[in-house]
Chain A
Amino acid sequence: MIGRRTPASPGSHERHDREELARLLPPPADQDLPYEQHLRHKELLMHRIDRDQNAADSRTRDARPARRWLRPAVLAPATALALACALTAGIALSGDDGRPADTARHGAATDMQPAAALLHRISDAAQQRRAPTVRDDQFLYTREKARDAELTGGKAKIGPLRTRESWTAQHPGPLHKLGLVRVDGETLPINAELGDTEGTPAGINRPTYRWLSSLPTDPDKLLDKLYAETPRPEGGTLDERERDQAVFEQIGQLLGGVMPPDTGAALYRAAAKIPGVERAPRAHDAVGRQGLGIARDDKRHGIRTEWVFDKKDFSFLGSRSYLTEDTGYGKAGTLLSSKAELEHAVVDKAGRRPGGTGERAGTAHRS
């Protein structure tokens, strides 16, 4: 289309504006992939085209590409590596690693470590909550306040506190549209996870209510499943201590939504079995609500992740993570992310806020 504007179009004006902008910006960093890599992606495309065309109407379903977990943070340089690593994600870790019995995964459930004791109380409270009815055609609404640090510049730079509303589809899928998210008055679709050309099914990266209900409610079995399914950083080392942290954080990501009571209860008891989980005094969430804290330190990278619970009803209020040591990203104490859960509900339509009768029911159900 360049070069075929109608004579009346503001072509020169436009060019002038663009040139001025270009001056304000760094040069565009034009790069390219090595030839072999291009060839590989092109072949992938051609292969897909051939497959689809051969399959014409009697579509064979077997060729769904192996799931590639996207963790750009720790991406290996090549996609092939990513694929290879995704395959290792099914390997469960060996259980006990010789740490003291009171903190080891399979330690006695009755040990009264302060953190475990608190998590058990939280678990009991979660178990008592009423289970909402969630249909596959409905959406889970979440309103939260959150801020995150941008790390791409090399230094952690914390962003402003923003209100974020989301509506997540409950259909098991695979779906291409996973729901809607509204931040700063801007509403955008949530698209399938990158790599899911055929759509993203319900699962650990898209935890629907039904999927959560399907998890084992025995804490040991649940923990085994979480160790097996928590996405693994591609190219990352299989250090067990990092794995403990990854699973702890994975549980944190599942919390803070509408949660089946049995699953919620089991998740907290599972968390109590992860080595290194401790109580966090003076824990608070993104909006400053103080509460009962549970935390785990990633000593290797100097990052602490805290969960905060309401002092009275033990509901999940929010979470926070920050540097505990001076690192390249910033000084000890630098905030990396924090959020506060404000509202949860089950609604019939994406984009609709709770409030209509029948939708209120699920409101304020916290995990």
Chain B
Amino acid sequence: MRDSDNEVRHRVREGNRAAFAQLYEEFARAVYNHALRLTGDWSSAEEIMSETFLTAWRTRARVREDGGSLLPWLLGIATHKADNARRARRRRQLFLARQPRPRAEEDFAPRTAARIDDARRLRAVQAALGRLRRQEREVLALCVWSGLDYQQTAEALDIPVGTVRSRLSRARKKLARLAAEAQDAAQETSEPHAARGEMTSAAALAALPVREELT
């Protein structure tokens, strides 16, 4: 496995056309999903994915000779682009506010109900991530959802492994606290038919009332 990883790296560095085609086949979906989780927006995600591979091609010389899979490298590029997209989006906040509200569903209205579930799931992901700082979001998305290990996450973000650990541990504390708060809030306001601890943390998070962003 490792030899073939190095072989792939070598060919990518050389600018081998077939190697890039293979890279695309293998990782486009992973890159797309990573971008989708970070931005919460299908069209941004699509553009980020496309741009990630173009950037990969342009910066292929920076790939190291040895190391494992090239996925961390690609996800690192995509993370960067996702941040830019978010920033551009904030700059154009007003445009966003002008979209009809059930935007996600509407875009895909002709599609199936599955798409609406996708939209709902995506929103839950965004709601959870929205309560974290950017650095924590990125580490979480890479580590938990894209399945990179700590070392790979460090590689993707170009930060030390220790930093990955400390960001994750901060994120975990914050999420646990938010989940607990949401649970308390839910118990105060709703029928106590859900026994304490039964509500899943994720659902609790999604139910969390709007409040100042916690940092």
Contact = CB atoms under 8 A, between A and B. Distances in A.
Interface of A: 1-5, 14, 17-18, 20-33, 37-38, 41-42, 44-46, 48-50, 52-53, 68, 70-79, 82, 148-160, 184, 186, 188, 190-195, 197, 233, 242, 249, 253, 298, 300-301, 303, 305, 321, 323, 327-329, 336-337
Contacts of A48: 54, 57
B46 A37 contact: yes
Contacts of B69: 1-2
14 contacts: A5-B149, A20-B172, A23-B201, A23-B202, A24-B175, A28-B144, A42-B21, A42-B24, A48-B54, A48-B57, A53-B15, A151-B96, A327-B101, A329-B101
Most chain B CB within a 10 A radius of its CB, from A74, A75, A160: A75
B179 interface: yes
Given A46-B17, A191-B80, A41 B201 contact: no
B64 interface: no
Nearest to A328: B101
A203 to B, nearest CB: 14
Interface of B: 1-2, 15, 17, 20-21, 24-25, 28-29, 32-33, 36-37, 39-44, 46-51, 53-55, 57-58, 67-69, 72, 80-81, 83-85, 87-102, 107-108, 118, 121-128, 130, 133, 135, 140, 143-145, 147-152, 168-169, 171-172, 175-176, 179, 201-202, 205-206, 210-213, 215
B46 A33 contact: yes
Contact of B92 (A1, A73, A159): A73
Contacts, number: 262
Contacts of B93: 73, 148-149, 151, 321, 336-337
Most chain A CB within a 10 A radius of its CB, from B2, B36, B94: B94
Contacts of B39: 72
Contacts of A74: 95-96, 98-99
A156 B51 contact: no
B213 A150 contact: yes
Contacts of B20: 45-46, 49
A210 to B, nearest CB: 21
A344 B67 CA distance: 45
A76 B108 CA distance: 11
Contacts of A158: 212
B51 A197 contact: yes
Contacts of A337: 93-94
Contact of B51 (A3, A194, A328): A194
Nearest to B212: A160
A186 B107 CA distance: 36
B175 A21 contact: yes
Nearest to A27: B121
A267 B68 CA distance: 54
Contacts of B97: 73, 149, 151, 156, 301, 303, 323, 327, 329, 336
Given A24-B172, A45-B57, A72-B85, A195 B47 contact: yes
